[in-house]
Structure 1
Amino acid sequence: DPTEGAARVMGHHTVQEAEALKEEIGYMSQRFGLYPDLTVLENLHFYADIYGLPRRGRDEKIGRLLSFSNLTPFGKRLAGNLSGGMKQKLGLACALIHTPRVLFLDEPTNGVDPVSRRDFWRILYQLLREGVTVFVATAYLDEADRCNRVGLIHRGRILACDTPDNLRGLMRGTILEVRTPSPRRAALLLREQREKESVGIFGDRLHVVTHDAGETSTAIEAILRGEGIELQGLRAIEPSLEDVLVSVLEDEGKR
């Protein structure tokens, strides 16, 4: 039982009506939680048995899920022999076997190749069109940007929750994108000499948050030139959700 408080999902009390609630929700874990020594079809039938789906109409339901997840040609393949992307699609199909109205996905594309990630999100968009509510926990903020609403969570606490565009509005100041072949060295220099500004490394580029873009741009050029570091590009950009999260966390640290 919870230490305090109460919650309802789809009108069901999460403690008092837990069994009824299970019929309304689906869950897919981050790790592959199916049976590797069973085939794709056997896994789906196993989950159908768990949820008590009647035999009548079951094959049709499973056939639709296989088609929906692009797994029809792999029905007789052992789950353990599937690629990472196919395993995730099978996990999603099993989570949908009882037609839930709410779906919880725990980092569903973690470790999956970019093409499979894209295909997985296409499937999620189709579920949304069919009226399914989907909750996605993800560390990929470019994926979070695909969602209708995003909650930024740190150490178990929601720091902000809104649409992606509104969350970007939380960003104070201008972000300057700095391109240089020596991003780490450049970041160290800028942090030493521009202490009032936030400097973050994003791949092979730097993001510098400033309240005076003109003055800061001039200073960046002078600092890098003075240390013999090539400046390949410097421009103002729109903030990403990752920029917003870093900014919100920094604000939290100042409180």
Structure 2
Amino acid sequence: MENAIEIRNLTKTFDQFVAVDNISFDVKKGEVFGFLGPNGSGKTTVIRMILGLLSPTSGVGKVLGYDVSRDNEKLRNKIGYMSQKFSLYEELTVDENLDFYAGVYCIPPEKIKEKKKEILEMADLVGKEDLIVSNLSGGWKQRLALGCSIIHDPEILLLDEPTGGVDPIARRHFWDIIYNLSKKGVTVLVTTHYMDEAEHCNSIGFLYYGNILYLDTPQNMKEEVIEGDIIEIKANNILKSIELLKKNDKVSDASVYGAGIHAMVQPNINLNELKYYLIENNVEVYSLKKVKSSLEDVFVFLVENEKRKQNKKLE
């Protein structure tokens, strides 16, 4: 499948600070690609370079064959962008916001009414055209912002942490819309720090302080990255349990996972031995079982590996 986005050795520095460090990746046409990583990992900087809002320090970025540094004017109507803050005019109505963005993207006057109707239906905002945006719920604002970003029918859609601050039902509705856009051939690049959202993507990249730690499909990552097994433990003292597990030679790492612990252990470890190890150290174990690895487990594994590499460089 043809690539919509091609990034090669892209780097961005601000004085001595390296925000994005020599990253390369491709996004296929019609794909939903996710950048997953903590706040401050460089996700927004990558998007701003793709948009042509920031010039790379080095490297090359191409979108639909156009260079992001030289051809950003040619790309203007081919890309839709939704920022973290939704970029809506709070004092205007829903209808007025749509009119404004229709003007920004130079939509012919005879097509505006039809496009607005399409957006309102997609965003489930029919009947809310005259509401002031500041009075809308987070979910409605989110869907309106998405509608404004695609009112010009872009081929590429860039979404920067689009679901922050909205409830789970609104998030699910939002992703239904994204899937429908992808089915219509729109290429979507989304940044997020929500692990469950990354599961919705065809491919994902783990970004950690400017570096891509891994690129693959969510399923492949969960099956291939972690060396060993994942054990889920529920006990009366989580912090003490983690401290003990990290001292055990057969445990490579342990961290909080929901209301329990996920421990990365050697393959085929004796679960009873591990259980009694905790019990002997005055921990009451409620349950201990092997589970399939999650994306969160994969991310923890990759980050800990990266930390070990950096520590070795400093020795």
Q: Normalising by structure 2, what TM-score?
A: 0.77
Indicate whether 1:92 and 2:92 are aligned: no
The residue that corresponds to 1:175 in the other structure is: 230
| Pick aligned residue for 1:105 from 159, 163, 172 | 159
Q: Please state whether the residue corresponding to 2:109 is helix, strand or coil.
A: coil
- Identify if the C-alpha distance between structure 1 residues 4 and 214 changes in structure 2 by more than 3 Å, giving closer, same or farther: closer
Give distance in 2, aligned partners of 1:154 and 1:9: 23
Greater strand content:
2
Give the letter aligned to residue 209 of structure 1.
M
2:220 matched to 1:166? yes
- Within the candidate set 259, 272, 280, 1:226 is matched to 280
Q: Is the 8 A contact 1:181 1:204 kept in 2?
A: no
- 1:41 equivalent to 2:98? Answer no
Partner of 2:266: 211
Contact in 2 for aligned 1:187/1:206 (Cα 8 Å): yes
Aligned residue type for 1:238: K
Q: Tell me the secondary structure at the aligned position of residue 176 of structure 2.
A: helix
Count of matched residue pairs: 254
Aligned-pair CA distance for 1:188: 2.3
The gaps in structure 2 that reach 5 residues or longer are: 1-54, 310-315
Q: Distance in 1 between matches of 2:89 and 2:166?
A: 19
Matched, 1:239 2:304: no
Q: Cα offset for 1:119?
A: 0.5
Higher relative contact order (CA 8 A, sep 6+): 2
Given that residues 251 and 263 in structure 2 are in contact (C-alpha distance below 8 angstroms), is that contact kept between their aligned partners in structure 1? no
Structure with greater proportional helix content: 1
Report SS of the residue matched to 2:120.
helix
Please state whether the residue corresponding to 1:7 is helix, strand or coil. Answer: strand
1:62 partner letter:
K
- Secondary structure of 2:144's aligned partner: helix
Residue number in structure 2 paired with 1:249: 303
TM-score where L is the length of structure 1:
0.94
Amino acid of the structure 2 residue aligned with 1:135: L
Could you tell me which of 175, 182, 198 is aligned with 1:144?
198
Unaligned runs of 5+ in 1: none
Aligned residue type for 2:303 = L
The amino acid across from 1:163 in the alignment is T
Q: Aligned-pair RMSD on alpha carbons?
A: 1.5
Please identify runs of 4+ aligned residues in structure 1 that moved more than 6 A: none
Q: Equivalences for 1:177-192 in 2 at 5 Å?
A: 177-192=232-247
Q: Percent identity between the aligned chains?
A: 39
Contact 2:245 2:251 in 1 (8 A): no
CA distance in 1: counterparts of 2:108 and 2:226, whole angstroms: 52
1:176–1:236: 8 Å Cα contact kept in structure 2?
yes
Contact 1:153 1:159 in 2 (8 A): yes
CA contact (8 A) 1:29 1:108 kept: yes
Cα gap change, 1:106 to 1:161, in 2 (>3 Å) = same
- CA drift at 1:43: 0.3
